Structure 1
Amino acid sequence: MKGIILAAGKGTRLYPMTKPVCKPLIPVYDKPLIYYPLTVLLQAKINDILIIVPPGEEESFQALLGDGSQLGISISYQVQPVARGIADALLIGEAFVNRERMCLILGDNLFYHTELERIMENACSSQKGAVIFGNWVEDPRPFGVVEFDSKGTVLSIEEKPKVPKSNYIVPGIYFYDSQAIEIAKQLKPSARGELEITDVNAEYLRRKQLRIIPFEKEVIWFDAGNADSLFEAAAAVRSQQKQGGNYVGCMEEQAWKNGFISDEQLYKLGMAMDMTQYGKYLMKLVQG
């Protein structure tokens, strides 16, 4: 399975903080925002990842993440020249995916749950069609809204409806088979000029190949699209790490848990940051 992170957003809703740097590179508490979706892909045991970046930002991402070899994975990069919507990531990533199954995740979404690996394993188990998630929110109108019955059968899916049919929205992580590329090629831009990922999901629904996994209430999810949500996400990460003792979005730890890197490699990564709590945490994992 391949992984794609769409990290090409300029973050205009976060100006002026994102004027000198794109949104996925800004910090959320103690690590860059991009660490969080990258860790989720690692939790799905994906080790071949494409990061789609804005024009002119390739060097910044490469300076931070390199080619992924330090994590025992492969990271490559492609530019999204013009922001054309989430579904455009499927077209940009066509050659990379090479007709394999894929997980597409947004570069500004943060997910955390102690059982997230199990949840990802459930999603990865589908060999055909698409898997989306459902997250309950108070006001679903700004999002893609999904309606489903008590058996988990998806009944409808709508983008930013004025009158939502449910309080469940589709957060920014999607599992697809290779049909997604063909579907994306047939899309026409919406009224806001974008290729909507909701239209991809709606086509899977029409084909009766769309499965939903409702998130448990304990799942932490943030769309870090504005200053308030960014602050709340940072506070949630800090609280979890202080109270629970486990780091959120720690890609080095997850790579180590997966067996992608050894004890020695993890310790070296921690040693390179031994003046920080983050580095000390990595070294402590090996020391027990």
Structure 2
Amino acid sequence: MTKQRKGIILAGGTGSRLHPATITVSKQLMPVFDKPMIYYPLSVLVQAGIQDILMITTPHDQAQFKKLLGDGKAWGLNIEWAVQPSPDGLAQALIIAEDFLDGAPSALILGDNLFFGSGFAKTIKRSVKDTGGATVFGFHVKNPSDYGVVGFDKDMNAISLVEKPENPASNYAVTGLYFYDEHAPKYAKTVTPSARGELEITALNEIYLNRSELRVELLDEGTTWLDTGTHRSLLAAAQFVAVMEDRQGIRICCPEVESFRQGWLTKDELLTLAEPLKKSGYGNYLAKVAESEH
């Protein structure tokens, strides 16, 4: 019997593209409009129905993350902790997480990625059930050379993966969300460091591609994907969240709300979480959801 899929959030790295703002604070703890950046990938995993989550941080940032999230119990989650001593590549996250996964399939998401859209929610809920092989998510971009890019055959089957290609095979970038079967840690250990000394996630995905076990889900036009790793993209993400929330009168990507909707929090538990946050307005929204959706 296949074990329940577990989640991994990689929130390591130096945040050097955001210096000097991130010299003293992890970029994943910086605000994206009304909530810390880390709430956005966390909400994705909760949306996907994943309750057991490993947070991988740098050694010196972990205390601040723990102050924010704790063990997750108050949110109906089980959050465990690990460190990435140095930024040696995204694929290293699967090796660090091996004991935590304990033979379970995984969902790895990068701590600076924001996803939003009703179509996206349906896509991940469908994909999370498919526990064989690997699934990556393609997003149409105008500047594919800045990303890992998927190449397709005439039937839109993935045939190539190239990191930051000079001549991209398509306009579809691989986003920072990856679903893997139970073999990912073992495969990650076979990846050799790239020219920049990192265990590249593209190299791990290529192992699945070469085994004909890689699926590429293309995110629809109603889905927004933002990588918040630069000053300009961080600003764009904050502006996007502000516009969406002001226009719709809701708050998006709230992990507490997603957990409540999964049935992992009761109305009273959500109201308890809401109480100390009411001065910011965030708590008022949690309370509104608790009262209207129970």
TM-score, normalised via structure 2 length: 0.96
Cα distance, 1:278–1:161 mapped onto 2, change above 3 Å: same
Q: Distance in 2 between matches of 1:125 and 1:50?
A: 19
Q: In 2 relative to 1, CA 218–150 (structure 1 residues): closer, same or farther, beyond 3 Å?
A: farther
Q: What is the rounded CA distance, in whole Å, between the counterparts of 2:264 and 2:252 in structure 1?
A: 19
Paired with 1:262 and 1:51, the residues of 2 have a C-alpha distance of 24
How far apart are the structure 2 equivalents of 1:163 and 1:44? 34
User: 1:134 — aligned with what?
Assistant: 138
Shift in Å, 1:248:
1.6
Moved more, 131-140 or 144-153: 144-153
Say yes or no: does 1:71 pair with 2:78.
no
Amino acid at match of 1:203: I
Distance 2:273 2:154 in 1: 46
- 1:152 shift after superposition: 3.8
The aligned counterpart of 2:264 is 260
Distance 1:188 1:273 in 2: 46
Displacement of 1:151 after TM fit? 4.0
* Equivalent position of 2:219 in the other structure: 215
Task: Tell me how large the CA RMSD over aligned residues is.
Answer: 1.0
Runs of 4+ in 1 over 6 A off after TM superposition: none
Report the identity percentage. 43
Q: Residues 122 and 148 from structure 1, CA distance in 2 versus in 1: closer, same or farther, beyond 3 angstroms?
A: farther
SS at structure 2 position matched to 1:275: helix
Secondary structure at 2:59's aligned position in 1?
A: coil
In the alignment, what sits opposite 1:111? 115
The C-alpha deviation readout for 1:46-99, integer Å capped at 9, x for no partner, is 000000001111210110001000111100111100110000000100000111
Q: Which amino acid aligns with 1:115?
A: G
The more displaced of 95-104 and 238-247 is 238-247
The number of residues matched between the two structures is 288
Alpha-carbon distance in structure 2 between the residues aligned to 1:243 and 1:10:
35
- C-alpha distance in structure 1 between counterparts of 2:210 and 2:250, whole Å: 41
Whole-angstrom CA distance in 1 between matches of 2:9 and 2:70: 15
> In the alignment, what sits opposite 1:16?
20
Task: Answer yes or no: is 1:56 the counterpart of 2:75.
Answer: no
Counterpart position of 2:8: 4
Structure 2: runs of 5+ lacking an equivalent: none
Match of 1:271 among 245, 269, 275: 275
Q: How many Å apart are 1:150 and its aligned residue?
A: 5.7
**Aligned with 2:94 (options 84, 90, 93):** 90
Partner of 2:85: 81
**What does the per-residue CA deviation read over 1:137-165, in whole Å, with 9 as the maximum and x for residues that have no partner?**
00111110001246441111111111110
SS at match of 1:190: coil
CA deviation digits over 1:167-221, x for unaligned, max 9? 0000000000011111110011001110000011111010000001100012111
Give the aligned partner of residue 186 of structure 1.
190
Q: What does the per-residue CA deviation read over 1:99-132, in whole Å, with 9 as the maximum and x for residues that have no partner?
A: 1110000000010012332111121121210000
Residue 167 of structure 2 aligns to a residue whose secondary structure is: coil
Contact 1:3-1:103 at 8 Å conserved across structures: yes
Which has the higher mean CA deviation after the structures are superposed, 174-183 or 108-117? 108-117
Structure 1 residues 267 and 115: CA distance shift in structure 2, 3 A: farther
Structure 1 position 177 matched with structure 2 position 151: no
Supply the AA of the counterpart residue of 2:274.
G
1:251 matches 2:255: yes
* 230, 234, 239: which one aligns with 2:234: 230
**Letter matched to residue 210 of structure 1:** L
The unaligned stretches of length 5 or more in structure 1 are none
Aligned mates of 2:45, 2:155 — CA distance in 1: 27
How far the C-alpha of 1:272 sits from its partner, in A, is 1.4
The whole-number CA distance in structure 1 between the counterparts of 2:222 and 2:262 is 24
The whole-number CA distance in structure 1 between the counterparts of 2:21 and 2:265 is 34
Q: TM-score, normalised by structure 1?
A: 0.98
Q: Distance in 2 between matches of 1:255 and 1:116?
A: 17
